[in-house]
Amino acid sequence: MYRYTKCIGICLLILPLVLAHADGEHLSVEGYEFELVKDGNRFGLVTEYEDLNVQAQIMDDKGVDIYYTDTEELNKTYWATWRPLPGDYQIQFIARIDGKILKPTYNITASRLPWDAILGVLGLLFVIGRWRYRRKLWYGYLLGGVLIVIAAGIYLYQPAPIACDSEGCLLPIHWHAELNISVCGNEVFLPEEVGDLNAQHTHNDTNRLHLHAMTKMNVDQTALLTPDQHKLGDVFQQTGIRFNSTCFSSYCNGDACIGSGAGKLRMTVNGEANTEYDEYVWIDGDEIAIVFE
């Protein structure tokens, strides 16, 4: 009965290591080739490029964003770490390549059963069973029972969908704000596709700020605990445009526009005058006007 248990146990111990490394899934986006690989709770985007700015976002089966993270590059593969609840998801990598934003998206399924842990435990139990049969070790039962309890604990453990502690909660946000900029009567446009994808940035929609990231908020989810991440001046720093309480670009209070007297910088938020300028902490849906005249 126990003749082959040792070989079976060794095979089962190796099997989880094999299953943890999923075969690559290929995808072509606008002529660029990508591949998704999986290593436990790590998801890798295989590319042909080094030093890319890549963000990963996770969406549930209804397309709702539930998690954002930056990636770590290793040999042209960009790794994102995420421990999912059981269910069906999409993982979307956002990569800026040759001035384009590409979004290779893959369907992933998180199994209800942690097969790696269960198979590992079964493998150990088979080995223990063989060992006990030959040496009559009474504590084989005890060790087997402990392993089963551990496996049950892993099976029943559910990570919280929102990470909260005594200081607040880490929440996924996908915010946008509209910017209208005018200098001496001329409309000014921010550069497109600039900025860290894990901070404030722009895409190819004119003068629209984007921010999709995990953000710390209070337990009631009514106040930001990391306001520096949302200050308006950040995007101007990334685009190389001077902006503060007295200056925009090369124009400062007192400078004259052609055909007029001394100009002055003003800013409104949602139609109301605002004097915070670069220190203003913007929120989703803001309409911001910056005018020098």
For 100-156, what is each residue's pLDDT tens digit? 889 999 998 876 555 556 655 665 665 566 555 555 555 555 666 666 677 666 666
For 183-216, what is each residue's pLDDT tens digit? 999 999 988 888 888 888 888 888 899 998 888 8
- Angle formed at CA 261 by CA 254 and CA 191, multiple of 5 degrees: 65
What's residue 66's pLDDT? 87
Helical (H) or strand (E) element with 144: helix 139-156
What's residue 209's pLDDT? 92
Read off φ and ψ for residue 290, nearest 5 degrees: -120, 120
- In Å, how far are 1, 14, 116, 127, 130 from 4, measured between CA atoms? 8, 16, 21, 10, 9
For 29-73, what is each residue's pLDDT tens digit? 999 999 999 887 889 999 999 999 899 999 988 888 888 998 999
Domain boundaries, the chain: 1-16+113-161, 31-110, 172-292
Q: How far is it, in rounded angstroms, from Cα 238 to Cα 240? A: 6
Query: Stretch 252-279: mean pLDDT, rounded?
Result: 94
Asked if 31-110 and 172-292 have one fold, the answer is no
Name the pairing type of β-strands 32-39 and 272-273: unpaired
The CATH number of 31-110 is: 2.60.40.1220
For the full predicted model, state whether its pTM sits above 0.75.
no
CATH 3.40.50 is held by the domain 172-292 = no
- Indicate if the pLDDT at residue 85 is higher than 50: yes
What's residue 148's pLDDT? 66
- Write the CB contacts of 166 (distance below 8 Å, at least 6 apart in sequence): none
- Write the CB contacts of 237 (distance below 8 Å, at least 6 apart in sequence): none
For 2-25, what is each residue's pLDDT tens digit? 455 556 556 655 655 555 555 568
